[in-house]
Chain A
């Protein structure tokens, strides 16, 4: 097992290297640069100064020189400077990453809390009216675009009922680190997390339900029943555990999605996170931010798949990785 993990980690190095070249070239292939947008609305700039500024920022260097500079910084943990925000990318990302991970984790946990019971009910009592409702719910949430649903949730629970705050991640007027501060964070988190969770349960419910229906008629379940194991034990011990396998396999990927962030949730709820920063940086051609974020999510994906494999082998004794 340990050997396997080590080998996988070693393979990651060339993978990341190729990824870095691809990202860099693709980013540079986009038309325009970080100064294009800034100058479009700032006519007070003569050609000479613009030229000088580009030179200072190294924009005229050949690609391989720029790449070497970037990769050298990367190896030293320096992700470069954001031209738009005039600040190091590391500190730019660090602050937002926590919010994104927090929101992502909340969405993930809530969606499992909703999806697993629903999947079990649907699978165990197939074709009852409850099951039909669950399948209906599944279709509906699958078809509902997040940005509309999030707006609707905000409108109802934020504005009309006034149960939750309508923007931000924390009330600025509470003292940092106090109990009230954490409660305020939680309070700001519920609505966006719930909006994200409700529309992202489809896959889990569907897999779980199908898996239970399949497992229900397998031989080992029949054997268990024949041995006189009680019905509830058959479900909890035998069927449920086996049916969770595909979901466990997904967990690794889900963790990757944590750091990707959700553009819609963040933007609608004014929740400062990575997703929105990524999108804006692409539009503004703030290359150092874009490349840094893609590299990070690339790394996370590689780790996520590895994690999935490890989880899978841990929960399924039939799979043993050598």
Chain B
């Protein structure tokens, strides 16, 4: 009898196995169908402007609610929970709840006086005086002091510091920073503590980047001060028991998978609406299901799954234009490491008409609509629209115009001499272009192929370097070392909140991968962060001119602007798309029902 039972059980298992595999073939079939249907409805083009920046929910907030935050990531997060040391985006997403910047920001990411600290600029714009509000306290009850703020500069500038924040030009231009960094001084002479809550920072020269790029995070000196700076990065006080002065504090961490936050009752701006937040790592492949099930209330949503998620009833999307752009760069020279500057000496693409033609040949509108469901759209400038004051709405990017491309190529002397359908260079020799593109994601391959086809349509013979997409590390190695195999390359930049493009296009900027240099470029970039540029109108004029200049010279082709979207359960209120960088981003967030809405 017993045996029979066992037997039954196993045959059941087998049947179950059959059933499951039957399901699996079904579901993959369903997926295919799904894809097809989205292609047909794609005409309803998504416009990032349609995404509300703020979540919509008029119901009454529940007292002491709990919210589930999904950290969409396919790897266990490590948790280097300090702004001076963290390197991965996922850590920043954990930090946002319990540690916040000292300043709030406006829509151009400039500091404002509505946050934990206020500031005042001196007349010559070289000195900033920061006053931390009286009731701003660390979550262990100790006040946040001027010394804590100074301490974070002392850590970053220290010769034993192993993080990546010292590279910032603004950081290095603090008076006395270089001496301190070299170990010649005990303190940074430009940073003066005026009283417990006030300090002033003096810079070598006035730079408007100060308002967007000033390091604005304090570090708890009373808590971390006894750890030598060289051991700070690996200290448990940063990995396991960090403290901050944000609206929430860490209650518990399960390494690699989840963090529980509880309300910081002592928060300077008042009592946060939520009682607790549970953050959980969720694989990108299952985030849509988790949203539908109500297991996750808020998550940064992977844009490639947007088409499938559209129309879900229990959650909504908020979004904004990302501080980033994709581009295609021409290798115009090399980096002279000795002199520390870019040299423009590669003759192949010196004719700007050729560069322009290659830009006009690209149909980025189709790329954005077909491959990215409208969540990416043609870029028109090297300053993304996420800087509303600086982005030039009238910037004349190269919109798709193959006829114009052909005309430009004809003018420049690139003509099809031997009638094989492909153009030869002005001397009549075969003209081959090597295109370096990065692998990763499902779209990389079709995108690269599409661009190559676009160029072929105007008669240019473009091929992938080594005949294939390059893996991430090899890609950057080749680009950074100006490998002669590479003529053009497709890459992307995250700009950060500082609009100043100097670090990416300056003469002595290593990241100026196209190696484009010119007197006019130097001049415009210098003007853009001169003292005079504290005047908004003047700076706007300079950057408008720079955008137009770069669009004409076209050392890099801006290809796509991108959007960033968050999926938010209908029960959430008070959340906006800037919550990750806004000091008060989570303070006002609440839920209007004890349980999440389920689809």
**A interface vs B, CB < 8 Å?**
30-32, 35-50, 53, 56-57, 81-88, 91-92, 95-96, 99, 114, 117-118, 121, 130, 133-134, 136-137, 140-141, 144, 148-149, 151-156, 158-159, 162, 166-170, 172-173, 198, 266-273, 276-277, 279-280, 283, 285
Contacts and interface: CB of A to CB of B under 8 A. Distances in A.
B293 A137 contact: no
Interface in B72-99: 74-76, 78, 80, 85, 87-88
B254 interface: yes
Nearest to B170: A44
Contact of B76 (A158, A166, A273): A273
A50 B167 contact: yes
Contact of A38 (B7, B17, B20, B164): B164
Which of B11, B24, B256 has the most chain A CB atoms inside 10 A of its CB?
Answer: B256
B511 to A, nearest CB: 5
A47 B163 contact: no
15 contacts: A42-B496, A84-B78, A95-B256, A130-B7, A134-B14, A136-B18, A152-B23, A159-B292, A167-B280, A169-B257, A170-B254, A170-B257, A173-B278, A267-B74, A270-B283
B233 A276 contact: no
A51 B496 CA distance: 22
Contacts of B363: none
Q: What 6 pairs between A and B have smallest CB-CB spacing?
A: A272-B256, A32-B473, A45-B167, A272-B76, A47-B510, A86-B233
B285 to A, nearest CB: 6
A307 B477 CA distance: 44
Nearest to B509: A46
Contacts of B259: 172
Interface in B275-306: 278, 280-283, 285-286, 289-290, 292-293, 295
Interface of B is mostly: mixed
A57 B473 CA distance: 19
A168 B257 contact: yes
Given A86-B233, A172-B260, A159 B476 contact: no
Given A44-B167, A133-B11, A173 B255 contact: no
B64 to A, nearest CB: 15
A31 B257 CA distance: 30
Interface string B234-268: 10000100000000000010111111100000000
Nearest to B168: A44
A307 B493 CA distance: 52
Nearest to A266: B76
Contacts of B10: 117-118, 121, 130, 134
B269 interface: no
A48 B182 CA distance: 13
Given A85-B80, A166-B295, A173-B260, A46 B510 contact: yes
B27 interface: yes
A86 B81 CA distance: 10
Contacts of A43: 493-496, 503-504, 511
Interface centre among B28, B295, B510 (most CB of A within 10 A): B510
Given A46-B510, A56-B162, A133 B254 contact: no
Nearest to A147: B285
Given A159-B289, A167-B282, A88 B166 contact: no
Interface residues of B, number: 77
B234 A81 contact: yes
Contacts of A84: 78, 87-88
Contacts of B260: 172-173
Given A37-B476, A81-B234, A144-B21, A167 B286 contact: yes
Most chain B CB atoms below 10 A, which of A35, A43, A169: A43
A271 B15 CA distance: 29
A80 B597 CA distance: 47
B17 A272 contact: no
B175 to A, nearest CB: 18
Given A87-B239, A169-B254, A270-B76, 17 more contacts: A38-B87, A45-B168, A47-B508, A49-B167, A85-B87, A86-B85, A92-B78, A144-B24, A152-B23, A154-B286, A155-B27, A156-B23, A167-B290, A168-B254, A198-B17, A270-B281, A285-B473
Given A86-B87, A87-B233, A137-B14, A168 B280 contact: yes
A268 B234 contact: no
Nearest to B481: A31
Nearest to A45: B167
Nearest to A152: B24
B340 interface: yes
Interface of B: 6-7, 10-11, 13-15, 17-18, 20-21, 23-24, 27-28, 74-76, 78, 80, 85, 87-88, 162-169, 172, 213, 233-234, 239, 252, 254-260, 278, 280-283, 285-286, 289-290, 292-293, 295, 335, 337, 340, 471-474, 476-477, 480, 493-496, 498, 503-504, 508-511
Contacts of A47: 335, 337, 340, 508, 510
A49 B473 CA distance: 20
Contacts of A151: 285-286
Contact of A268 (B21, B285, B494, B498): B285
Nearest to A132: B14
B3 to A, nearest CB: 10
A166 B290 contact: yes
A140 B21 contact: yes
Contacts of A85: 78, 80, 87
Nearest to B324: A41
Contacts of A166: 286, 289-290, 293, 295
A152 B20 contact: yes
A270 B282 CA distance: 6
A39 B233 contact: no
Contacts of B6: 117
Contacts of B493: 41, 43
A86 B17 contact: no
B248 to A, nearest CB: 14
Contacts of A153: 20
Contacts of B335: 47
Given A156-B23, A167-B283, A172 B17 contact: no
B21 A37 contact: no
A37 B216 CA distance: 25
A285 B162 CA distance: 17
Given A43-B496, A84-B87, A167 B254 contact: no
A169 B280 CA distance: 11
B258 A48 contact: no
Contacts of A88: 234
A195 to B, nearest CB: 10
Contacts of A148: 24, 28
Contacts of B255: 95-96, 272
B578 to A, nearest CB: 19
